Structure 1
Amino acid sequence: MATGGRLRPVREIVTYVHMTDQEQFRPAAPVPGLALAALDRRSPLVVEVQARMGAPYGWGSAVRTAPEWDLWFARHPDRAFWLLSHEGEPAGLLACDLHPDDEVEIDTFGLVPEFVGRGLGGYALTLAVRQAWDLTPTVRRVWLHTSSADHPAALPNYHRRGFSTFKVEEGERA
């Protein structure tokens, strides 16, 4: 919320969830026409889709300038990207980082606004989690975080797919 040209901080709860074994994974029913495909990090869709996904939730990706994107990419040289598409249309994005000790962080996951509320989220997350576990043959943990500012169905969807909460942080963000 703006006050006198400045943003007023808002209260935020960040919830961290993980799976430590593939046996914990509970896939959603398939959705015909929904697919996940590798996306070259130089594709303009990486920026475009992240900006569209994040705009309703105040993600930094929604307002980054071109130089800020360049810096962001330079800070994450090994981040891998996949495009979610529904019947051939870009519907969302997955970005993963492989950390030491064979941990995969789902850094970015979501749908663009026009695909939210259409029953795609459960299977979209199913595709994302499968991809995360398949990143290397030795993955031992998949984790991510979500914010109370994100879509209200996000955290329940993570729990339905088998993620469990391992940390909660409360604070403020501008």
Structure 2
Amino acid sequence: MTNNETGHSDTLAAEKVTVHVTRLEMVSPSSVAVPVPAGIRLAIMLAENMPLHLYRYLYEVIGKPHHWMLRRTQSDEVVSSIIKAEETRILLLYVDGCPAGFAEMHLNLPESVDMHYFGLVPDYQGRGLAKFFFAEVLAAAWSHNPQKLWLETNTLDSPRALQLYQRMGFSPVSTAEEVITLWK
């Protein structure tokens, strides 16, 4: 369907599925040391004043296989106001000069940092980059001195996501069922 209000076009499948959502928290910085992957030129940068088209591209290429839904249903004006908000931080992972992943977090200080999105472009998955990038994202989140970090994952995310989050120090605090509209 085309959203005439935003000019952004995407296809939403009519099919809906129920997913199991796990909410996790981390109450102290991780002690897990993650080495920099060898043989790859890497950079992690804070995206300041991120262009909407780049955000939408990364959100789709990373989120579509996992059926991320919130930002695809929001207007350009809403998404732009969120990604440019003072409390939003977006970190970009570059591999050999190319955008390879992103993480979006929202500072609800001093209480928490909410980790909203984390993922890698499919071309860069399976290279050992996720654990390294996630460790760097966590360090950036903890640099704001929150009391805790929050995140959610569901059964449509990578099958290794929940394991990674728990290995890095997150603990499940609640679960729920949610209906997701599949993205085709």
TM-score category by the smaller chain?
A: 0.7 to 0.9
CA distance change for structure 1 residues 34 and 163 in 2, over 3 Å: closer, same or farther? farther
- Indicate the RMSD between aligned Cα atoms, in angstroms: 2.2
| Aligned match of 1:10 | 17
Would the aligned equivalents of 2:71 and 2:79 in 1 still touch at CA under 8 Å?
no
How many residue pairs get matched? 165
Partner of 1:172: 179
- Label 1:167 to 1:49 Cα distance change in 2 as closer, same or farther (>3 A): same
Task: Give deviations 1:25-54, integer Å, cap 9, x for gaps.
Answer: 423222143331111233343222122111
Q: Which residue, out of 32, 39, 42, partners 2:47? A: 39
Per-residue deviation, residues 66-123 of structure 1 (Å, max 9, x unmatched)? x713222325623121111112211100111011433101111110111112221111
Distance in 2 separating the partners of 1:124 and 1:11: 29
Mapped partners of 1:114, 1:61: distance in 2: 23
Which runs of no fewer than 5 residues in structure 1 stay unpaired? none
Going from structure 1 to structure 2, the CA distance change for 1:118 and 1:58 (only over 3 Å counts) comes to same
Secondary structure of 2:94's counterpart equals strand
Instruction: Report the CA distance shift for 1:173/1:162 in structure 2 as closer, same or farther (over 3 A).
Output: same
Q: Distance in 2 between matches of 1:112 and 1:70?
A: 25
How far residue 60 of structure 1 moved from its aligned partner, in angstroms, is: 2.5
The alpha-carbon distance between structure 1 residues 119 and 172, as it changes in their structure 2 partners (threshold 3 A), is: same
Q: Which residue number corresponds to residue 92 of structure 2?
A: 83
The 5 A counterparts of 1:68-147 are 68-75=75-82, 77-78=85-86, 79-134=88-143, 136=144, 138-147=145-154
Q: CA 1:9–1:130 in structure 2 vs 1: closer, same or farther (change >3 Å)?
A: same
Bigger shift: residues 9-18 or 54-63? 54-63
Match of 2:28 among 3, 6, 21: 21
From the two aligned structures, give the one with the greater helix fraction: 1
Structure 2: give runs of 5+ residues left out of the alignment.
1-11
> What TM-score comes out, normalization by structure 2 length?
0.79
CA distance in 2, matches of 1:62, 1:143: 19
Give SS of 1:55's match.
Answer: helix
Q: What is the SS of the residue equivalent to 1:104?
A: strand
Worse overlay, 54-63 or 124-133: 54-63
Alpha-carbon distance change, 100 to 131 in structure 1, aligned in 2, over 3 angstroms: closer
Q: Which runs of 4+ in 1 moved over 4 A?
A: 61-64
TM-score by length of 1: 0.84
Over the matched positions of the two proteins, sequence identity in percent amounts to 25
Given that 1:98 and 1:104 are in contact with CA atoms closer than 8 Å, whether structure 2 keeps it comes out as: yes
SS of the counterpart of 1:72? helix
